[in-house]
Amino acid sequence: MTSTSPSETAAAPSALIDVTHETRYRYARAVELAQHMAYLRPIDDAAQELLRFEMDVEPAPSHHSSARDVFGNCRTVFTQTVPHEMLRVVAHSRVRLRARPALTSAALPWETLRERWRYVAKRPFDAPAEFVFASPMIPNLAPLRDYALASFTPGRPADEAARDLTRRIFKDFKYAPASTHVGTPVLEAFTLRRGVCQDFAHVMIGCLRTLGLAARYVSGYLLTEPPPGQPRLMGADASHAWASMAVVGEDKEMVWMELDPTNDCEAGLGHVRLAVGRDYGDVTPLRGVIRGGGRHALDVRVSTIPVDEAVPVGTIPA
Amino acid sequence: MALHTASSASIQSSLELDVTASQAEAAIYGVLHAARRAEPGHHDELLEATGQSLRAPWQRFFSLLGPEGLLDLRRRAGQVAQQIHRNGVTYNVYQGDTGQSRPWSLGLLPLLIEPSQWAEIEAGVRQRAMLLEAILADCYGEQRLLREGLLPPALVLGNPGYLRPLHGVVPPGGVRLHVAAFDIARGPDGEWAVVSQRTQAPSGLGYVLENRLIVSRQFPEAFREMGVEHLASAYRQLLDTLQTLAATCSDGEPPRLALWTPGPFNETYFEQAYLARYLGLPLVEGGDLTVRDDRLFLKTVQGLEPVHGLLRRLDDDWCDPLELKPDSALGVPGLLQVVRAGRVVVANALGAGFLESPGLHGFLPAIARRLHGEELQLPALPTWWCGESAAWKATREELAARVIRPTFPGIAGRNFEPVIAAHLAPEALDAWRARIEAVPDSHTLQRYMPFSQTPVWEAGQFTPRTALLRVYAIADGKGDFRIMPGGMTRIAARDPHVVSMQHGGASLDTWVLADGPVDTYSMLPQRLRPQEIAAHRRPVTSRTAENLFWMGRYTERTEHLVRLAQATATLLEDDDDSPAAVLDAMSELAEGSGLAPYGVPSLAKSPRVFERAVVAALIDAREHASIAYTLDALDRSAGSLRDRLSPEHGRLVRTMGEDFRSRMAWVDLDDEGDPSKGAAAGELVAALEHLANQLAAVTGAQSDRMTRDHGWRLLTVGRLTERLIGMATMLRAFFEGGAVYTTHGFDLLLSLFDSTMTYRARYQGRQEPLALLDLLVVDEANPRALACVLRRLRTEIGKLPESPDSVLGLLALLPQQGAGASLVELCHDGREATIDDARVLALTERLVEAGSLLSDEVGRRYFALSDRHDQHLAV
């Protein structure tokens, strides 16, 4: 249901999407004190305009604040000091997606990029170089490098090689909900050749970084209902994640190319971006430290619905 | 003497000079005779290059010591070791999951540094500290050094120690490094060079003090005459800096500081407690702190109290489980948010850890030129970070002359033990080359330099040992640094190339010799204004209160057990047949208190089996109620209370356990022979008596030597609660089977209540059960009467801080007055002279129950905050 607003240029495709992301924890015993940190506010930039955002937290926090983190994401922290046996966080967002920036010239070979991100004394620093390094959840692993080299053959343009890697991960790995958890090490997912979107993204990023390429983790959502005639994509009923790699064209222009190995595609008008970071740990949608609580049950629901722009926009269904 | 003329006095003094001169020569001759030269390639701190004479400062040192002093070195070395043991100075070494503490190792002789050398070190370290501060400001701010290619991003953004959540945060006063430590060493040419730097939570400031106190006492004359720089001003500077900076975020209140420790299992816990006591800061653990509304608080028995400054001994990673290492149980969830809000000074600032990478050294000279327009005065060992391919290529073939070090020390998966490549075989060298080329960023090479060797007095010889000196730069809060004139010298154990405390090295005091007058400032209390007095009263954290409460309970429980054990031993020694009722009462008490294991045949049935079981149980530290167990528990509580107990007090507790263990070992050995008559019984009685005396000293220290704050009050409440339970239990046992009505039982009960003297004085030889009941239950004048224990409990509870539901709830658990029953109420109705045993038993039941309820309630009200069952969630 990708639609084009009549008021805008007919040439620029865009999509208007409403997202509701609800997280609910039920605790066996009362939680006496809770400190949480959330990355639930979608990115607002040229390719993704944030039209509306609301976040409801129950019980009401005694204190909360939001600020931009070092990557430009919105980080919200809140504290609950009333004893509670249930935590509910609901984020409603409306975004307008437009086409991502793309290279306007042929991509350089991957080895050229690798050299470019490498440190040479007194040579000015290129921002993407930050994403070449191992990060807490994605260490440098030799097996990933060997796996990646099958796609990154000598002299191959970086974008083409990356698309090939995306396809191979999609084919070689089994998407298996609940087969892993948020702390699953990348090596385990790689060895088992299975996991959820977070694992697919981590494996892909790990592959790219072991080659010396700059890759980021993108946390976000996927359109729940696919456009008519297209298959429903994996990972649509929960929050989603994919990878993003810095590519440079022959004209020296740099763009972040977003690749979704869970679905073997490039991120498009169905991919809503929440936050970017080095790995899941930088942009965990919701995390916390609680005192008390005992055992807990978790329930997460995400609905991502295209808005029919012909219909006047009313309230967002909760 | 008064008649001495001026001329005779001068003759006298010139004679003394002569004597001194020849004595000095004798001493120096003696040293030369007993000194070994440094190993080839190492600068010799003691001997001139010829090996025929001492270097100037040592010449001076030994002249002042004289030949007698030289002969006395063995004794002095013994005193140093003894002092270490007495003060309980330890260094914990991790061995599997049982942390073992071992005595701190301190050499007798100091490292001597001449004024001219020190001037160079001081200037160089000061310059470097200022440079590091500027690099931190840049990396957490505009990142000019990265953009201009003066710093490789791998060493900053690629370093796990760089904390992105703190980018853009300017800490109070703009100060990120409050204490920076530099490990420096002297090369073969006698020049000093920086080997590494510590920027997160440098250890050693406590050991430095302890070393100084112990060593300077061994050489008072040399210490004075040689003009050794004092250290106190540097510590004062540290406190002043922290106080001034913390005052900017304390809303006009006097700022409150604390020393944040990882806890008693940390390898340097001793010195953290020592430093806290010296600086007058409360020693807190992560569990003592909590965050509310972007502010930091200390959990105390009086509720939450704000904290504005933390001198931390935790590494960055562990500080906030919400944003950093999620499984850290040592941190404070939400601390980073408090830091971002600018509401707390953390010293050093979180995120300073990436500067500890040795990979940075090679980049510092260019950064110094770029940022400050100056050359570094104190060089670092030449260093090559392999991630810079030009650097690796340049040094690849000279690998054998390098030390290979991890670029990211302490980071799992990227850490390794430094390797001296000169020791490697050619194949091993090639393997290292391949390893480096696979992950160049993780490897840093440093030129191999043999460090200087300084004399250590060992087995009658002066043995040269490789030395590494840690020097501390302390921020003044205004952009400059003051260098502590001294530091911690560490010496290698065996291998002259590896200096490490974890690997069994030792430490030395460090004497910086002054040219001019010495700053003799001592950290005496400053003059305080009246409004500051209250702020200096140390808060009592919930955790400390809990430890004190249990210390009180365990002390009393140990006393109780000792008294029971002594009574049992006496019963066994008596050949006369004790009445069965008495034997049963004692068996029951022994079993109920854990003195005898459950199910052992009673005293009446088989006295020998019973005795053996009791002796075995006494020393079994695994049994929850044995004396050995309570002694261990006492020692653990005392260990966690190091910042509060006087060293003497801690020593007493420790010695008590050690003595008991070693004495009981004898009892055990002789067990097979004749247990009642032989040496074993004698040893047992002696061991118990010795322990009883020591316990008396401990309780004396607890009641007379401790500040009467809420912590002490809770200790007292713990003690009295335990006593209440113990006494009520004994009373019950003696009334239950009628033991109290036998002569033997009557006397035994009096002695268990420590009231024999009082009873005799009042009633001479008469055996009046009612009089006994009066003395042991109702008489408030008898400190061992239940009524007196209860009265004191009520008094102390009444002074406890009011928690929301007030102390009334606690008081309601106890009888309102006396022991809860008068003498009349304990007798049969209408027959006033006869005791109604059932009523006595009912009273004892009530009191035992009141005691345990009280303990639970105190815990719920005052220690609940110290409870910690944090869990981490992520989705």
Extract the tokens encoding B438: 């696979």
Nearest to B293 among A63, A122, A124 (CB): A63
pLDDT score, position B673: 44
DSSP B598-651: TTPPPTTT-HHHHHHHHHHHHT-TTSTTSHHHHHHHHHHHHHHTTTTS-HHHHH
Judge whether residue A131 has pLDDT over 90: yes
Q: What is the CA radius of gyration of chain A?
A: 20
Distance CA A88, CA A40 (A): 13
Residue B509's pLDDT is 97
Chain centroid to CA B371: how far?
41
Joined tokens for residue B436: 């480096």
Nearest one of B452, B451, B455, B453 to B77, comparing CA atoms: B455
| CB of B298 closer than 8 Å to CB of B288 | yes
The answer to whether A77 contacts B389, with C-beta atoms less than 8 Å apart, is no
In sequence order, the 6+-apart residues with CB closer than 8 A to the CB of B778 are B785, B786, B787, B818, B819, B821, B822, B823
User: Which of chain A's residues have a Cβ under 8 Å away from the Cβ of B158?
Assistant: 130, 132-134
Under a CB-based contact definition with an 8 Å cutoff, are residues A166 and A254 in contact?
Answer: no
In sequence order, the 6+-apart residues with CB closer than 8 A to the CB of B620 are B626, B628, B629
Residue B523: predicted pLDDT:
62
- Decide if B413 and A139 are in contact by the 8 Å CB cutoff: yes
Look at residue B88 in the predicted model and tell me its pLDDT. Answer: 74
Of B148, B165, B874, nearest to A182 by CB-CB distance is B874
B97 or A73, which is more confident: A73
Dump pLDDT digits (tens) for B627-670. 888 898 898 888 888 878 887 888 889 889 889 888 887 765 44
Residues of A within 8 A of B323 (CB-CB) are: 37
Which segments of chain B have a pLDDT < 70? Answer: 1-21, 92-102, 494-504, 522-537, 575-576, 624, 667-681, 803-807, 832, 864-869
Cβ pair B337:A69 closer than 8 A: no
* Residue A311 confidence class, pLDDT cut points 50, 70, 90: very low
End-to-end C-alpha distance for chain B, whole angstroms: 90
pLDDT in tens, A132-168: 999 999 998 999 999 999 999 999 999 999 999 999 9
CA atoms of B732 and B606, how far apart (whole Å) = 23
Cβ pair B850, B309 in contact under 8 A: no
- Confirm whether pTM is higher than 0.90: no
Q: From the CA atom positions of chain B, what is the Rg in Å?
A: 33
pLDDT given for residue B701 in this prediction: 86
Establish how many alpha carbons lie within 13 A of residue B831's alpha carbon, considering only the half-sphere containing its beta carbon.
Answer: 4
B182 three-class SS: strand
Q: What angle do CA A31, A36, A39 make, to 5 degrees?
A: 145
**A 200-259 → B contacts, CB under 8 A:** none
Give the chain A residue nearest B162 (alpha carbons): A135
CA B238 to chain centre: 20
Contacts of B292 in chain A (CB under 8 A): 62-63, 79, 81
Q: Which residues of B649-660 are buried (b: 16+ CB within 10 A; e: fewer)?
A: bbbbbbebbeeb
Find where tokens 């002390």 sit. B555
**Do the chains contact at B439 and A140, CB–CB below 8 Å?**
yes
What distance in Å separates residue B439's CA from the closest CA in chain A? 9
Arithmetic mean of pLDDT over chain A: 89
Would you call B322 and A289 a contact, using CB atoms and an 8 Å cutoff? yes
Closest partner residue to B333 among A124, A129, A289, by Cβ?
A: A289
Collect all residues with Cβ–Cβ distance below 8 Å to A69 and sequence separation of at least 6.
A75, A282, B164, B165
Q: How far is B284 from chain A (nearest CA, A)?
A: 19
Of residues B147, B149, B873, nearest to A290 (C-beta): B873
Read off the pLDDT of each residue in A57-62 and give the average, rounded to a whole number: 96
CB contact under 8 A, B389 and A139: no
Phi/psi at A58 (nearest 5 deg)? -125, 135
**Residue of chain A with shortest Cα separation from B362:** A121
- Which chain B residues touch A70 with a CB distance below 8 Å? 164-165, 167-168
Q: What percent of chain A has pLDDT over 70?
A: 89
Quick check: B824 and B263 in contact, CB under 8 A?
Answer: no
| A86/B contact by beta carbon, under 8 A | no
Residue with tokens 């977003």: A258
Minimal Cα distance from B363: which residue of A?
Answer: A121
Q: How far out from the chain centre does Cα A118 lie? A: 26
DSSP string, B455-469: EEEETTEEEEEEEEE
DSSP-derived pairing of the beta strands B419-420 and A194-195: unpaired
Q: How far apart are CA B303 and CA B296, in angstroms?
A: 13
Decide: B222 and B150 in contact? Cβ < 8 Å: no
pLDDT digits (tens, 9 = 90+) for A255-282: 999 999 999 999 999 999 999 999 999 9
φ and ψ of B159, to 5 deg: -95, 120
Q: What is the pLDDT of residue A77?
A: 96
The rounded distance, in Å, linking the Cα atoms of B258 and B246 is 11
- The stretch A25-53 carries a mean pLDDT of 95
Q: What pLDDT, on the 0 to 100 scale, is given for residue B92?
A: 67
Contact (CB, 8 A) for B546 and B866: yes
| Residue recorded with tokens 């490897």 | B443
CB atoms within 10 A of CB B12: 11
Torsion angle, alpha carbons of B12, B14, B16, B20, to 10: 180
Amino acid letter at B280? G
What number of residues does chain A have? 318
Predicted-complex ipTM score: 0.91
Integer Cα distance of B62 and B26 in angstroms: 9
Measured in Å, how far apart are chain A's first and last C-alpha atoms?
21
CB atoms within 10 A of CB A72: 11
For the residues of chain A, what is the DSSP string, one character each? --B--TTS-TTS-EEEEEEEEEEEEEEEEEEEEEEEEE--SPP-BTTEEEEEEEEEEESPPSEEEEEE-TTS-EEEEEEE-S-EEEEEEEEEEEEEEEPPP--SSPBPBHHHHHHHHS--TTPPPPGGGGGGS-BTTB---HHHHHHHHTTS-TT-BHHHHHHHHHHHHHHHSEE-TTSS-TT--HHHHHHHTEE-HHHHHHHHHHHHHHTT--EEEEEEEE-SSPPTTSPPPTTTTS-EEEEEEEEEBTTS-EEEEEEETTTTEE--TTEEEEEEESSGGGS-SEEEEEEE--SEEEEEEEEEEE--TTSPP-PPP-
d(CA B658, CA B568): 23
Contacts of B78 (CB under 8 A, 6+ apart): none
Question: What distance in Å separates the CA atoms of residue B325 and residue B347, rounded to the nearest whole number?
Answer: 19
**Nearest-CB residue to B149 (from A123, A288, A293):** A123
CB-CB under 8 Å, B321 with A282: no
Task: List residues bridging with A175 in a β-sheet.
Answer: A195
- Which residues in chain A touch residue B868, judged by CB atoms under 8 angstroms apart? 291
Rounded to the nearest angstrom, the minimum Cα separation between B372 and chain A is 17
**What pLDDT, on the 0 to 100 scale, is given for residue B460?**
87
3-class SS at B768?
coil
- Contact of A139 with chain B, judged by CB distance below 8 Å, is answered with yes
The Cα-based distances of B677 to B564, B612, B689, B692 in angstroms read: 20, 13, 17, 22
Residue with tokens 């796609």: A151
Measured distance CA(B314)–CA(B524) in Å, rounded: 28
Q: Chain A residues with CB inside 8 Å of B143's CB?
A: 125
